[in-house]
Structure 1
Amino acid sequence: MNGIGSGARIRVIGGGLAGPEAALTAARLGVAVDLYEMRPVRQTPAHQTAEFGELVCSNSLKSESPGTAPWVLKQEMRRAGSALLRSADATAVPAGHALAVDRVEFSRHIAEAIAAEPLITVHREEVTTLDPEDGITVVASGPLCSDALSGEVARLTGKDHLAFYDSISPIVDAETIDMDRVYMKARWDKGSADYINCPMNREEYDRFLDALLAAEPAETKEWEKLPYFESCLPIEELARRGRDTLRFGPMKPVGLRDPRTDTNPWAVVQLRKENVRADSYNLVGFQNHLKYADQGRVLRLIPGLENAKFLRWGQIHRNTYIHSPSVLTENLNLRAYPNVFFAGQISGVEGYTESIATGLLAGIYAAAAAKGQMAEPAPRGTALGSLVHYITHAEAKTFQPANITFDLLLPLDEAVRKQVRDKKVRHQMQCDLALEQFDGWWQRLGAPAESERAMAEGVPA
């Protein structure tokens, strides 16, 4: 992995998180990089500055608690010498068990790292074309990819493999659900009874529907004025199409006979676990574009949710990402156009750390390609490999961007799971196995000297 390749050069598009990580990684591997960022020439609706690595939402890169999925992902990234993880560690602020950063200092630290790297040339201009024959390109433009570049991505991937909306269903605190009014059941009793079902009779359904139709929509920003996709319709739009539309959609009662009364409800709202701890549930298929106050008023008409505390309200917003299972390889490049790599949220991952992680991998893979080589992809057993395995092998029909979770990591053998009852111990065992596989892979690649100590100690280089 070391050594400057003769004439080796790549283009990286995007100055958020994945782009700078890919650029700094490739430069560390001896490959010259042209890093493109359209801000401030052209701003996005979400960003406030033109700085590299601007965090537009939270300032947290998730848990630093040993034995958690976000922790093991970051540990692998640190062992690989991740530039942005180094910046995060250098600008960290107290945040309990999470890694949170001073967002201004974080951006400044990244900018200084880029400025100090002689192999990176920064271009402040919008990229509007993608020519897969014109060298190696890493597309890390984020979920607010410009219209022109989105069009180019759609041209290369096929328009059916590009999503323009991310639907977010409301999330409710599990402790605030009235369990006396609901029942646990899977549709047609297929699988375990993991869903909470909130049954409605006809009167309750009509009252809910009338309130939904009378609710006020959220204000629409100019950048969100795009037609809804049929697979991502807000519940209020479904309701406007007919009084029974919801009953044949997200509130379908078929196969959900109430075992307490042995009757079929008129309609059912299903709640699905948001995490393995089951301390929160999302309302399945209840994405909407209503004002938060109206959401609270309407959703608390659902039986069992009368006194619910909502941890997140429903939303529908633009979020451009490719349908990775259909188009990407495990090296994060397009199957049809191997010179084009993807990283960050446009590749189908969610979250700051996950975006940086794919930027790290894309930088490694693109740098190898620029030298006429093919890097071994991160093994399935690592957290890095598990994340990529999900976005490239997920069920095509139900693919949605994902964060790193234990659900994505390789499970332990059944015999081990039966023998080790403590979940925390099992999770730590998964983490240990992931780090072991990472170390072997990283040594096979030829670990760059500056990250050897990080690899050995599991600390920032």
Structure 2
Amino acid sequence: MSRIRVIGGGLAGPEAALVAARMGVEVDLYEMRPVRSTPAHQTADFGELVCSNSLKSESENSAPWLLKQELRRAGSPLLACADASAVPAGHALAVDRVEFSRQITEALEREPRIHVHREEVTRLGPEDGITIVASGPLTSSALSEEIARLTGSSHLAFYDSISPIVEADSINMDRVYFAARWDKGTADYINCPFTKEEYDAFYDALVSAETVQEKAWEKLCYFEGCLPIEELARRGRDTLRFGPMKPVGLRDPRTGKTPYAVVQLRCENLRADSYNLVGFQNHLKYGEQARVLRMIPGLEGARFLRYGQIHRNTYINAPRVLMETLNLREYPNIYFAGQISGVEGYTESIASGFLAGLYAAHAALGARPVPVPRATALGALVHYITHADPENFQPANITFDLLVPLEEKLRKEIRNKKERHRVQCERALAAFAQWWQTAVNPAVHSF
């Protein structure tokens, strides 16, 4: 009987399990929560989102849109769950995180080939059969040591941070307004506008606020794409105004003017009873967060359901150890997916889980997998994590920089960046369609 083991109940693990099961493979899915928790998770739910609730842009011909389109066309189980639990978020795909987890759990429970085990896995080896490690950035120390033993190299680690969440009815709606940047999509974001004086006072309070003390054994090495706001602020007084507090495209309909700076709040669930502060991950002490963040116009009386925090994210040096089919060179029966494999972001984690599930299922069925071509968004992501400079490897989101560039002649002919992106997306989707026709065995594929 064809059987594989999947470790991790976040995003990549359930995606891999569902993909493999729907191809006719028996799957043992392991999740250590609630037997053993992590510093960031609050529940034992499958697919719990510990940071933002956004799967990024749905704007046509953007790189995040392209990755989601490829996954949708492949029948990604978790993208279907995300679409079914979406909340208003302008031109982004954001989900009700509780409903999203419920949808994933129901999908797993409906699949008779998936067998869930609530226990910690601490051993990996050839004798354990085909295994997908999707244990996430908060992999337990015991499993981390086992992975380090197998890969023969130390893990790299960066520190990721979580944005605060406030109760909706504690927001002073007289001081804020609804709008989406450049009026894209619907006006689903609450915008907290600053005058220059308000911004200067907020900035001074932020850079002088007390942060959580670094422990002796820690070496804080933040992921550049997810810097705490206080770290960004220390790079210059206007850094936040060109980052998470940029006001461009957010004209205040009450005044007809663009504010000096803006903090955006995004809906957390379908009930719209809570909002997160977009891009406001931080490493401040809780008391300091309450003091400083209540200086944001409209949040003077904010009640915080969750403060920002920091946690350790672990990932392997994928360019050194992984093949393009996401399995270890030295131990080809062991696959990696999700953030531990070196991708960054929710959709990217789902994407790597999809591919790992596909490839591992083929191996279990005695078939040779067809690697996804680099010309696709899926392939570009895999190509990066398996071919980047191992000496300076950093996790990556999907961007146009990772996609196959247009030929120089065509780049000169197409001056408009949006049009160049449209052509890149068109080519990627065509390459995906051609690959997908041969990527699975029609006899067992049941998406």
Normalising to structure 1: TM-score of the pair? Answer: 0.67
Residue in 2 that maps onto 1:165? 158
Residue in 1 that maps onto 2:380? 386
1:143-184 Cα deviation digits (max 9, x unpaired):
000111111111111242x1233378xxxxxxxxxxxxxxxx
Number of equivalences: 346
Residue in 2 that maps onto 1:94? 88
2:327 to 333, 337, 341: 333
Distance 1:113 1:316 in 2: 31
Q: Is 1:104 aligned to residue 94 of structure 2?
A: no
1:25-424 pair list within 5 angstroms: 25-160=19-154, 162-166=155-159, 216-219=210-213, 225=215, 227-229=217-219, 317-424=311-418
Q: 1:406 to 1:449 in 2, by over 3 A?
A: farther
In 2, are the aligned partners of 1:79 and 1:451 still within 8 Å (CA)?
A: no
Distance 1:412 1:292 in 2: 48
Structure 1 residue 8: Cα displacement: 0.8
In 1, are the aligned partners of 2:16 and 2:358 still within 8 Å (CA)?
A: yes
Distance 2:80 2:427 in 1: 24
Describe the SS at the equivalent of 2:326.
Answer: coil
Structure 1 residue 109: Cα displacement: 0.8
Q: 1:388 to 1:293 in 2, by over 3 A?
A: farther
Distance 1:226 1:424 in 2: 48
Describe the SS at the equivalent of 2:127.
Answer: coil
Distance 1:337 1:446 in 2: 23
Describe the SS at the equivalent of 1:426.
Answer: helix
Cα RMSD between the aligned structures?
A: 3.6
Distance 2:283 2:83 in 1: 37
Describe the SS at the equivalent of 1:133.
Answer: helix
What letter corresponds to residue 228 of structure 1 in structure 2? E
What letter corresponds to residue 48 of structure 2 in structure 1? E
In 1, are the aligned partners of 2:55 and 2:346 still within 8 Å (CA)?
A: yes
Structure 1 residue 136: Cα displacement: 0.3
Where does structure 2 lack aligned partners over 5 or more consecutive residues?
162-206, 224-233, 249-260, 262-281, 290-307
Describe the SS at the equivalent of 1:437.
Answer: helix
Distance 2:145 2:374 in 1: 32
Residue in 2 that maps onto 1:306? none
Distance 2:431 2:2 in 1: 29
Distance 2:100 2:108 in 1: 13
Structure 1 residue 216: Cα displacement: 3.8
**Larger CA Rg, structure 1 vs 2:** 1
In 2, are the aligned partners of 1:80 and 1:447 still within 8 Å (CA)?
A: no
In 2, are the aligned partners of 1:29 and 1:448 still within 8 Å (CA)?
A: no
Residue in 2 that maps onto 1:15? 9
Where does structure 1 lack aligned partners over 5 or more consecutive residues?
1-6, 169-211, 234-250, 252-266, 281-287, 296-313, 453-460
Structure 1 residue 100: Cα displacement: 1.1
Residue in 2 that maps onto 1:298? none
Q: 1:293 to 1:43 in 2, by over 3 A?
A: closer
Describe the SS at the equivalent of 1:379.
Answer: coil
Distance 1:164 1:68 in 2: 29
Distance 2:394 2:243 in 1: 14
Distance 1:359 1:411 in 2: 25
What letter corresponds to residue 20 of structure 1 in structure 2? P
1:326-348 Cα deviation digits (max 9, x unpaired):
11111000111101000000000
Residue in 1 that maps onto 2:428? 434
What letter corresponds to residue 165 of structure 1 in structure 2? F
2:419 to 419, 422, 425: 425
In 1, are the aligned partners of 2:158 and 2:221 still within 8 Å (CA)?
A: no
1:26-55 Cα deviation digits (max 9, x unpaired):
001111100000111111111111111111
What letter corresponds to residue 152 of structure 2 in structure 1? G
Structure 1 residue 268: Cα displacement: 11
